[in-house]
A and B are shown apart, each in its own frame.
Chain A
């Protein structure tokens, strides 16, 4: 099955700096890579996703890049703000070639943005 590794487990940055979180996956057939944000005491929510036919996707201050050869993908947050403080999870599908089957998550990154 899929093995999703996420680093770092904790990340502290100053407000206005950039934050980068990286994930690696094991199944070369994986084709869909979402990122979820979970604020303290809340449910996880999708913030951005990328499919394997695209190398980069941006949405305002967040972006995701994908390197299929190396089997890793990264979340980039620019101009960080205190409200970006949360746990971020990457994920990848387990079922070969399926975008919408089982999804395995990384262990999460606790991002803290200091004012």
Chain B
């Protein structure tokens, strides 16, 4: 079991370039999340997907789009990168419904993105 896998781990972009962060989980979880982490700001939710075929905005969705490709995969796209999007991005997943006792979020290792 690899858990939550996200790629790439590091990326440098120029302002205006686009890119997609990929995330996949092998735990058969229904819910998937994208967070960004900035110094002093904690983890802020960008987008959330409760199940395959659904997505919902979080706290800071502007400048991002997401796709829940199937139950395993949830990608985050920056259409026109800006320096303010320099951050560490974490994908996470958890199960939902009566099967879960704790609602634990499982995080990927993170993707460090720098926009010049």
Partner among A32, A42, A100, A106 whose Cβ is within 8 Å of the Cβ of B42: A106
Q: B59, A45: Cβ atoms under 8 Å?
A: no
Interface size on B, residues (CB 8 A): 28
Q: Which residues of B contact A34 (CB under 8 A)?
A: 102-105
Judge whether A1 is part of the interface by a CB distance below 8 angstroms: yes
A9 near B96 with CB under 8 A, answer no
Chain A, interface size: which category?
20 to 34
Which residues of the other chain, B, contact A107 by a CB distance below 8 angstroms? 40-42
Residues on B with C-beta less than 8 A from A32 are 103
Query: Within 8 Å of chain B (Cβ to Cβ): is A96?
Result: no
User: What is the distance, in angstroms, from B62's C-beta to the closest C-beta of chain A?
Assistant: 15
Known: A100-B94, A102-B56, A104-B44. 6 other contacts (CB 8 A): A34-B103, A34-B104, A43-B110, A46-B105, A100-B96, A102-B48
List 6 A-B residue pairs with CB atoms under 8 Å apart, sorted by A's residue number. Answer: A44-B90, A44-B107, A49-B102, A102-B33, A105-B35, A105-B42
Q: B interface vs A, CB < 8 Å?
A: 31, 33, 35, 40-45, 48, 50, 56, 58-59, 90, 94-97, 100, 102-105, 107-110
